[in-house]
Structure 1
Amino acid sequence: MIWAGVLLATTPCQAPLEAIAPQLLQDLPAYANRSVALLPNQQSLGSVLTAGQLDLTPLSLPLGSPPPQGTQQLFFTTLERSFLGQHSNLSQGFHWLFVTPSDRGWQFVSLYSQWGPYPLADRPTTPPQESSGGRIGQAVQTWLRDCRANFLSAGSF
């Protein structure tokens, strides 16, 4: 939509990434926790407690590969709780999200993640892996779909 000679976003998802990223991270735990039921072969029950530490500055991937052409990168972390029998464990996820702008809004490209215990201290993390099909990747894709459809709650933006 054009108003007073300025192109306005017709959906929140057409706004700059800096404008929608905080809302994505705020909504991500709920989206991720709902997506668990939709993923096949989920072995452990758990939940995403929070997502944060947003960084829009392109970071080099631990894989050493350059980001895909024409994409923007968003780095964030998650704090997750998993249950094994009577015990619960906290783990931290480190996620490199790649999205690309389109005429309909932001589109998911890929997600790379690595996990480690919480608190991390000097303990190692897993090697980074492509995680677009995992719980966080599916949650981001669903949130972006809802954002493009202008289906997010009215107070979100």
Structure 2
Amino acid sequence: PVVTADRATAVAGNALAFTGRGFAPGEQVLAILDNGLAALGPMVAGTSGEVAGVLPLPADIPPGTHELRLSGAASGTEVSERFPVSAGPEVTAAASTQTADDDEALPASRLFLALAAAVFLASLLLLLLRRRRTRPTPAGVV
């Protein structure tokens, strides 16, 4: 069994092309990147036990070495390949824009969190007051 990732397409935010062989004919095969970061399948192995696919790589995948694993459902055949992923120029630009957006969104998220906490506390206070008002008085107590 062999899996081959097309290293030229291994760029963050792009689609990774790959092929595999060594599976049972007609077997369902799953492709998994880094234990679940991305997945594709089930694919059906051809008459010679081969599969081919295109797996979208997340835009925020860190550059470096990653692993693609193919798993056959019926045979239990597993094969993997480690390959380098690089950050594309558009991904780098998007990351710097995202950081600026996150800095602007921080005060808004804190405001939302504070309002949600205030609504929760007010609801809790009203519930406690309502329970206290509706509590029956014990017999013999005035």
TM-score bucket (shorter structure): under 0.3
Larger Rg: 1 or 2? 2
Normalised to the residue count of structure 1, the TM-score between the two structures is: 0.26
Which structure has greater helix proportion?
2
